[in-house]
């Protein structure tokens, strides 16, 4: 009886403290934000599409505003990036010296080892991708692109990081691919949705302890998968002839940072697979829904490489409309709507108007930036022409940021752009894609750490 009463009293005190702390002001220039509730903060306002909800809030609270996610105060930003001194143990979450070291090591390794010639790897995987699609085109069967796009992107990462690949003879629902796709999708789904336990500090120790030691986390199977590859690489390592990025990382760590090397490898596996694969999916959807754009791309490619010609990276400068269409896909559906959270290392006054204290968490709404009517004419319309010409490129440079910006932008940005171009250009050179049932494909995204299209089916016709 007394214990129950004590718990009730403590909970009331906690709610009161939670509410008062959320009302605390740091300065007269604090960012505005919606009214808060005790404990929950503003979590109840997010809805099923947080990137759109938060974009719409800028109309009321401005381009920089405060939003409480449970006990965590987030400053959302939907404007041109200022010069912020920010930092947030791997390439994704490491801090300061460790991050700089990992970043430099990975960037240098692309040049130092050539990573088994990444261009040759991408060209090979592109050819295999087209060959697989040709089977659907010849049979007339509906083509569901999701898992095949993932196989293409995953094999490129496998080749670069692990000197391995998943054979195209292996079905997309079986073997390593079947396992990995399921695991990766679950990680991105859970990571994007979050839970109350992620934001309410009083119950976090119990929740995370139970999850870690009793039921396990979504990351466990992927960690164990990569750990097995690490151990095999360590046993067969030739320090004078690194086979792949994993060997480079093991050599650099002198074999003393097994966990850290595995974590960096997982970064590549997750980010490098899901983002590129999803972008290809979105591109195919937009082509099916915009046949006029697709026809222009087909004509451009025909002039450059002929009918069903093989497209290489050397052709990129001669296919400006295709490049613009890829950029427009990344604008209309930026795969990572928020990117990753950052934390201010010092207090800052933005534009002499908005104060952000040291230690504040910041999320940039890249989706909102790409859909702002202040910066884009008819932002919801798929219009590659907005990226045609040097003047347009310069005009949109500050608001087109699909790979983030600054020193913590995507380390694999150039790799991603190359693999997107090779896959998409050769698909467009060989096929005309359309909705399998003849109706426009539903293009409202499914929210997660990445925003994905709903599953859809395509009809593939040979381009002539």
Outline where 254-354 has alpha helix (H): 258-289, 291-305, 320-332
**Contact (Cβ atoms closer than 8 angstroms) between residue 248 and residue 163:** no
Residue 371 CA: distances (Å) to CA of 32, 325, 338, 375, 456: 21, 16, 13, 8, 24
User: How many CB atoms are located within 10 Å of the residue 414 CB?
Assistant: 13
H-helix or E-strand spanning residue 396:
helix 390-396
Annotated binding site for heme: 410
End-to-end CA distance of the chain: give it in Å, rounded.
81
What are the two backbone dihedrals, phi and then psi, of residue 452, each rounded to the nearest 5 degrees?
A: -115, 155
Rg (CA), the chain: 24
What whole-number distance in Å separates Cα of residue 190 and Cα of residue 176? 21
Listed residue (398, 338, 336) closest to 362, CA to CA: 338
460: which strand partners? 433
The CA-based angle 217-212-270, given to 5 degrees, is 30
CB burial string 38-59: b at 16+ within 10 A, e below: ebbbbbebeeebbbbebbebbe
Task: List beta partners, residue 64.
Answer: 77
Among the listed residues 237, 268, 240, the one whose alpha carbon sits nearest the alpha carbon of residue 250: 237
Q: What is the DSSP string of 202-271?
A: GGHHHHHHHIIIII--TTHHHHHHHHHHHHHHHHT--TTS--SHHHHHHHHHTT--HHHHHHHHHHHHHH
Cβ burial, residue 272 (10 Å; 0-12/13-18/19+): buried
d(CA 306, CA 318): 13
């Amino acid at each position: 009886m007394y214990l129950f009463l004590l718990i009730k009293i403590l909970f009331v005190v906690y709610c009161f403290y939670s509410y008062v702390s959320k009302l605390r002001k740091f300065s007269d220039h604090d960012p505005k934000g919606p009214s808060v509730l005790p404990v929950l903060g503003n979590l109840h306002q997010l809805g099923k599409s947080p990137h759109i909800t938060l974009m719409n809030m800028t109309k009321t609270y401005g381009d920089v505003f405060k939003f409480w996610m449970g006990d965590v105060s987030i400053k959302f930003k939907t404007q041109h990036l200022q010069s912020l001194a920010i930092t947030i143990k791997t390439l994704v979450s490491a801090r300061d010296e460790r991050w700089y070291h990992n970043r430099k090591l990975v960037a240098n390794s692309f040049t130092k080892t050539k990573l088994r010639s990444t261009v040759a790897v991408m060209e090979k995987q592109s050819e295999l991708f087209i060959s697989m699609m040709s089977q659907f085109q010849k049979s007339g069967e509906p083509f569901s692109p999701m898992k095949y796009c993932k196989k293409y992107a995953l094999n490129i990462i496998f080749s670069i990081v692990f000197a391995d690949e998943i054979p195209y003879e292996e079905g997309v629902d079986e073997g390593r691919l079947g396992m990995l796709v399921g695991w990766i999708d679950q990680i991105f789904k859970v990571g994007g949705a979050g839970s109350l336990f992620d934001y309410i500090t009083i119950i976090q120790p119990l929740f995370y302890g139970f999850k870690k030691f009793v039921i396990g986390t979504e990351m466990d199977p992927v960690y164990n998968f990569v750990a097995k590859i690490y151990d095999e690489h360590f046993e067969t390592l030739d320090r004078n002839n690194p086979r792949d990025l994993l060997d480079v990382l093991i050599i650099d760590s002198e074999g003393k940072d097994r966990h850290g090397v595995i974590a960096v490898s997982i970064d590549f596996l997750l980010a490098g697979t899901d983002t590129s694969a999803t972008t290809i999916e979105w591109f195919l959807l937009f082509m099916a829904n915009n046949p006029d754009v697709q026809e222009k791309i087909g004509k451009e490619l025909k002039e450059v490489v002929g009918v069903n010609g093989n497209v290489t990276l050397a052709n990129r400068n001669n296919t400006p409309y295709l490049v613009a269409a890829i950029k427009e896909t990344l604008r209309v559906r930026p795969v990572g709507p928020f990117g990753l959270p950052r934390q201010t290392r010092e207090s800052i006054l933005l534009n002499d108007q908005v104060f952000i204290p040291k230690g504040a968490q910041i999320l940039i709404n890249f989706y909102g930036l790409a859909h702002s009517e202040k910066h884009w004419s008819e932002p919801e319309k798929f219009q590659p022409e907005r990226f045609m010409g040097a003047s347009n490129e310069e005009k949109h440079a500050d608001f087109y940021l699909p790979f983030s910006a600054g020193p913590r932008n995507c380390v694999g940005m150039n790799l991603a752009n190359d693999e997107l171009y090779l896959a998409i250009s050769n698909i467009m050179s060989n096929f005309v894609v359309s909705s399998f049932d003849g109706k426009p494909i539903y293009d409202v995204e499914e929210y997660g750490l990445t925003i994905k299209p709903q599953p859809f089916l395509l009809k593939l016709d040979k381009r002539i």
